[in-house]
Every structure is written in C-alpha cells, then in structure tokens.
Structure 1
Amino acid sequence: MIRYPIFEKGAKIGITAPSSGVPESLHHLLHAAIERMQQRGYNVKTCPSAWRQSLVRSASDGTRGQEFNDLMSDPDVTLIFPPWGGELLIEMLEYVDFEKVQEKWVLGYSDVSSLLLAITLRTGVATAHGTNFIDLRGSQTDPTTAMWETVLQTNVHETIVQHSSTSFQQHWEHDNPTEWVFHLTEKTEWKSINKNDQEISGRLVGGCIDTIRHLIGTPYGDVSTFQKDTVGGDPLLWYFENVSLSPTDMKRTLMQMKYAGWFDHCSGIVFGRSSAEDSGNGYKYTDVYQELSDALQVPLLYDLDCGHLPPQVTLVNGAYGTIVLKEGNGKVVQRFIP
C-alpha cells in the first residue's frame, strides 16, 4: 500500500542538496527562497550541502546521503525540499537508509526525481514531482506552481484536482525575473498523439527520463514488485519529462524500459514539455511518441505542465491519477488511495 505523508502550514522544511548545491555566486537566490518561505509561515532548516558546489556536486556521495538520512530522522522536519536538481544524484542512493524512510514528503524534479522514484518503489511512501525550492523565491507564485502546497496538504482518501496552465515559459531569464520568477509567454496546449480527447487512469510513477532510466536493473528500480505488491496490481500511469535526450536516445531508453518490464500493466504514458530539439535527421519526438503508443497499445499525451519549461503541476508518485485532455486543456485528478 501507499503511505502518504502529512504536511501542514507552519511545518519545518529541510533543505538539502542530494545532487547539485548552490554556488556562492547564486547564494542570493537561496536566501531569497528561504525568506519567502519564512514569510509564508514555514520554518526552514538548511543543511551545509545546499550552500556548496564543486565538480557538479554539492558534496561527497556519502555526505549527501547522510544529510538526507539526518533530515529523515529529524522529528520536526515534514518536508525535504532540495534547492534544485543536477546531474549525479545517483551516486548517493546507496547511502540512503531506505529502511528508515519515514512518511515525509520529498519534493522536486529533474535529477531529484531519481530519488523520488527510488523512495516510492522501495518503500511505498508517496513522493512529489513538482517545483524546485529555488523557484519559489518570487513575491508571487503562479496558480499552477502554487498548487504544490495544496497537493502536499491533501489527506489520505481525499482527492485533489489541478488544471493545465494558461501559458508557459520557453526560455529562462535568470537575470530578469518576474514577480513569480518565470516568464510565462507561450500559450499552453496539452496534446494527444492521436489528436483525440483522452482520459487515462492509473497509479502515477515517473520523473526525468534522462536520469530515472539509470535505475533500470538496479535495486532502486523494481517496478514489477511495486506494481504487484505495493499497489495491488493497479495499472501504472507513467509520466516523463525530457531535458536533453535526442529522439533516437529517447527511443532507445523507452525500448530498454519496455524490455525491463517497466511498461507491463501500463494504462498510458504522458510527456511534459521539453526544451530538447529534434535531431534534424527527420526523426522527431512525435515519431517516438507514436511508435511507443502503437507498440504498447496505450494512449499517449504530451506537452503537459511537467519539467524544465515551467510552470508544472505537482504529480504524486503512488497516487491514483486520472489525466483528462479536452480540446487542448488538461486536468489532473489525484486520489490519495493507500
């Protein structure tokens, strides 16, 4: 069964960097995010790794693992919230004490999703794929991103509904932030590979495809046992976001997932928006989507509010989700079923 953490207004938030930390030149961003969170009524505990960055890591793999374990064992911390993602989180997984993982939310995306998926698959504790801590430093928060609080405050057996954004950000302008940090200039349109309206339901699992693919064949990626035992045979609804995989690399990755059994008992697949570009050889991401949908005989949606072109909805690994697409607009319904 899935165990859902409890998060309340005024809770203590633990900031650790299991992947990349914040270099000194950008400490002002972390200070601003901490201040905003305190203004919202939260207490914030910051670990040393959040303020450090060397050779693409915040700290050694063992140090990162120990910080995470320490926050897990701190009775006052109810949310573990990395500043952002990175590239080498996978190094610290062997230092995470999964036997002592408690019902605490862990929230993030990008490289952090490798930790999120591993926790849910290994322990049955729900985790949340959504905004970065750093991106909450604005004086305002757009309606889509702001739902992170409401989602995390949802109780077991309750239902939470999120809607697609009206516009999204195509390019980062870190030196020119708006009041909500992002520059939401492009019209949002969720799409279906067969161009029809769709409704897909299943237990949500997924993350950044660039990084979670490396869990295949490891103790941290046992999807089959999770599907059969933890969620009682419920079908899986996969969500992915792509940072930089080319269409051919993505296809290879998806085939590996298929061969590894990750798509057994799959009800559908959704992809978030991506800044990655088609390779120029005529083979496009939409070709990959179509081929995958045909091979698995499941519906496939894309350009959802998920990933590196914000804003993004908050998706809970382990929750029973229903994703609805109608005339380019979308809705995510999540039921916190054990």
Structure 2
Amino acid sequence: MITYPQLRPNAAIGVTAPSSGVQAELHGILLEAIAKLKNEGFDVIPGETPWTQHKAKSSSAARRAAELNAMMADTNIGMIIPPWGGELLIELLEHLDFASYPAKWLLGYSDTSILLLAMTLRTGIATAHGTNLVDLRGEYWDETTAAWLQALRTKTGESIVQQSSPLFQREWDFETPSPCVFHLTEPTSWKSITGRPVHMSGRLLGGCIDIVRHLAGTPFGDIAAFRKRHIPGDPIIWYFENCELRTTDLKRSLVQLKLAGWFEHCSGLMFGRSAANAPVEDYVIEDVYRDLAEELGIPVIYDIDCGHVPPQITFINGAYAEIAVTDGKGTVTQYFRP
C-alpha cells in the first residue's frame, strides 16, 4: 500500500539542504523563493544548511541528516523542499531515520531524487519529483511548474491530470531575468521510439539516473521488496532524466538496473529532455531508447517534461499513472491509489 501525505492549507514548509547549500553570493535567489512562497500563504521555516556550501555539500553528512530528521519529526512542518540538488546526498542515506518518518511531502529533483526514491522504496510514502525551491521565485509560475501545488493537494483516492508543456527552455539565461524565471521558447514535443501513439499504465518510480542508479544493490534500492510489500500485482512505469551522462554511460547504467531487476514487471520507460546525451561515435540517444524498447519489449517515450531542461511535470513516486502520448502531446493522469 502507498501512503500519500496531505498538504494542509497554509502549511509550514521546511527548507533544508540535504545535498548542496546556496553560496553567499546567491542567497538573493533563495530569499526570493522564500518570499514567493510566503506570498502564496505558506509559513516557511529555513534551517541552517541552505545558507552554507563547502567542498561540494552544504555541511557534513551528520549535520545534514540531523536537520532533515528534525524537520521530518517536527509536526509544525507540513512539507520539505530543498533549495536545489547537488552532488553528495547519497552520504545521508545511512543516517536517516526512515522507520520513524511520518507521511510528509518531499519535493525536488536532481540529487534530491535519490532521497525521494529511497524514501518511497523504504517506507511506501509517496514523494514528489518536480520543481526545486529556487525555481519557485519570480512573479509567476508557468502552468506546468505551478501544478506542483495542485498535485500535492490531491487527496488519497483522487486524481490529477497534467498535460505536456506548450514550450520548454533550451538554455539558462541568468543575465536576463524574466518574470517567470524560465525562458520558455522552444515547442515541446513528446516522442515515442516507434513514432506511434503510446498508452501505458502502472506505478510511477524514477528520478535523475546519474544519481538513482547508485541505489541498485543497496538496502535503499530493493525494488522486489517494495513491489511485494507496497504495490503487489501492479507494474511499474519508470521515468528518468539524464543530467550529465554520455550515451554509452547511460546505456551501461540502464543495463545495470536491468540486471539488478529494476525493470521486471515494467510497463514502460519515460525519459526527460536532456542537454547531455552526447553521442559516442555514431551511437546516439535514439539508439539507446530503441535498444531498450527491443530488449525489454515495452514502450519507450522521451523528451518529456522532466529534469534539468524545464519546465517539469510533478511526478508522484508510488502513484498509479496512465500516460498517453499522441502527435507530440502527452497526458499524465495520476491516481492517488493506496
């Protein structure tokens, strides 16, 4: 069974940095994001770790874990959003008190996705793969990003429908700030490797593959135990996004996950847009997707709204989803089914 947190109106949001903190010269964007959430009616409770950054992390693993554990235990805090991702969140996993965690939303992507996936696999508590805190600053949110709030307010037994974005951001332009943070200029087109319409259904799991691949073979990545304990009989739809991997490294990672049993009882794979995916010789990203579709005998769709090329749909780890892709447009219906 999957447990879905409930986001109360005017809930307090805890801000902690289990991976990277924010350098002093960038504190302004963190303050802007906090102010925006306050304007939306939330109380925001920042910890100490978001304000520091040293040697590729906000603080020591022990300090980061202690702050996250404390915020999870604090009944005044209704959800937690890290400022952004980073590099070394994996150091925290052995220090986290998963067994005592209440049902409380965690939201983010990039390095945060290893925490999200580990949390859902270990506890059966749903987690939210979507926007980072710093991307919630600005005068307004684009429609795709803004759905994080509707998604997290969805109640057990209800559902939420999200559509593929009209436009995406090709590259970051920090020198030209815009009211919407993202510079959405390029037409979005979700694709299937066969070129034909696709429909798939199953329980959602995923994250940044650069990071979550490291859960395989650890107590935090036991997919078989999770399936048996929490979603017996249901297939899995995996969604991944690639931050920095070349095509061959991505393929090696996917083969590793296949050999680890992650793709057993899998009904489909989805991949986000990526500025990485650099080809090796003439082995391009479409070859990776085509190989997977043939090897696993399942549909593969790609260039979806997920990851480091914004905006992104809010995917709920553990939710039952129906995914439809036709003529470049995607529809994601998520059912908060226990």
Same topology, TM > 0.5 = yes
The question of whether the paired residues in 1 share the 8 Å contact of 2:246 and 2:280 is answered with: no
Displacement of 1:277 after TM fit? 4.0
Aligned counterpart, 1:218: 218
Deviations 1:291-330 (A, max 9, x none): 0010000000000000000000000000001111011001
Aligned counterpart, 1:199: 199
Q: Give the letter for the 1:139 counterpart.
A: E
Q: Give the letter for the 2:44 counterpart.
A: V
Aligned counterpart, 1:238: 238
Counterpart CA distance in 1 for 2:207 and 2:42 is 27
Aligned counterpart, 2:125: 125
Aligned counterpart, 1:74: 74
Write the mapping of 1:272-311 to structure 2, written as runs, cut at 5 A: 272-311=272-311
Counterpart CA distance in 2 for 1:328 and 1:9 is 36
Counterpart CA distance in 2 for 1:227 and 1:193 is 27
Counterpart CA distance in 2 for 1:63 and 1:278 is 37
Aligned counterpart, 2:84: 84
Indicate the larger mover: 122-131 or 171-180: 171-180
Counterpart CA distance in 2 for 1:93 and 1:207 is 16
Displacement of 1:8 after TM fit? 2.5
Structure 1 runs (4+) deviating above 3 angstroms are: none
Counterpart CA distance in 2 for 1:278 and 1:51 is 34
Counterpart CA distance in 1 for 2:227 and 2:294 is 22
Deviations 1:83-105 (A, max 9, x none): 00001100011111011111000
Deviations 1:266-310 (A, max 9, x none): 000000100104235110111000000100000000000000000
Counterpart CA distance in 2 for 1:142 and 1:217 is 38
Deviations 1:110-161 (A, max 9, x none): 0000000000000000000000000000101000000000000000000100
SS in 2 for 1:144: helix
Aligned counterpart, 1:7: 7
Unmatched 5+ stretches in structure 1:
none
The question of whether the paired residues in 1 share the 8 Å contact of 2:245 and 2:278 is answered with: no
Aligned counterpart, 2:65: 65
Q: Give the letter for the 2:285 counterpart.
A: Y
Counterpart CA distance in 1 for 2:323 and 2:183 is 26
Counterpart CA distance in 1 for 2:142 and 2:35 is 18
Deviations 1:59-83 (A, max 9, x none): 0001111111000110011111000
The question of whether the paired residues in 1 share the 8 Å contact of 2:279 and 2:285 is answered with: no
Displacement of 1:174 after TM fit? 1.9
Aligned counterpart, 1:180: 180
Displacement of 1:14 after TM fit? 0.2
Q: Give the letter for the 1:41 counterpart.
A: G
SS in 2 for 1:13: strand
Distance 1:280 1:255, change over 3 A: closer
Counterpart CA distance in 1 for 2:180 and 2:219 is 39
Q: Give the letter for the 1:258 counterpart.
A: K
The question of whether the paired residues in 1 share the 8 Å contact of 2:89 and 2:111 is answered with: yes
**Normalising to structure 2: TM-score of the pair?**
0.99
SS in 2 for 1:20: coil
Aligned counterpart, 1:137: 137
Counterpart CA distance in 2 for 1:323 and 1:8 is 28
Counterpart CA distance in 2 for 1:27 and 1:93 is 27
Counterpart CA distance in 2 for 1:97 and 1:70 is 10
Aligned counterpart, 1:189: 189
The question of whether the paired residues in 1 share the 8 Å contact of 2:135 and 2:181 is answered with: yes
Distance 1:263 1:280, change over 3 A: closer
Displacement of 1:227 after TM fit? 1.2
Counterpart CA distance in 1 for 2:41 and 2:220 is 35
Aligned counterpart, 1:24: 24
Unmatched 5+ stretches in structure 2:
none
Counterpart CA distance in 2 for 1:91 and 1:310 is 27
